[in-house]
Amino acid sequence: MLKKLKKLLVVIIVALAVVFFTMEDSFAKSRGGGFRSSSRSSSRRTTSKPKSRSSKPKSTKVKSSKPKSTKRVSKAPKRSVAQQKSYESAKKNGTAFKSKSAAVSKFKSNAKVQKQYTSSYASKPTTRPAHIPSTYSSGGNTYN
């Protein structure tokens, strides 16, 4: 009876020691991947390699020396809400142009616009018209 009790006590102590060492190693690995230093002999510890999820070897990516651009490259700046409404209105009226030169040529070729905005006279006026000022100053220079 006494021998059986001693054997049972030894088995329990050995089982507790195995459980204790296993839990300590797994706890140490989960907290930084290493083992804690202790006075126990390192020959008693066995380390196991982590199992990979797939049998394929991991490929390493070669990083480019060029930095990735995070800027959005755009040809035209973003429009405000008012500018967008104005553009949509011009598209409906057929007065939206891709370039300034296209708008100028359309303006000059429009007969209705030419009648409304005359810029030349049939003959040279004898006196300066009232809507044209006699002198004009800009940037410190005066023009007649």
pLDDT at site 41:
52
Total domains in the fold of the chain: 2
Task: Please give the distance of CA 33 from its chain centroid, rounded to a whole number.
Answer: 34
Name the strand (E) or helix (H) holding 143: strand 141-143
Burial class of 96 by CB neighbour count within 10 A (0 to 12, 13 to 18, 19+):
middle
| Structural domain contains residue 11 | yes
- How far apart, in whole angstroms, are the C-alpha atoms of residue 92 and residue 26? 72
pLDDT at site 144:
80
In the predicted structure, residue 43 carries a pLDDT above the cut 60: no
Query: 136 φ, ψ to 5°?
Result: -140, 130
pLDDT at site 11:
93
Q: Which domain holds residue 102?
A: 84-118
| Structural domain contains residue 139 | no
| Structural domain contains residue 22 | yes
| Residues shown for the chain | 144
| Structural domain contains residue 70 | no
| Structural domain contains residue 61 | no
In the predicted structure, residue 45 carries a pLDDT above the cut 90: no
| Structural domain contains residue 25 | yes
| Structural domain contains residue 39 | no
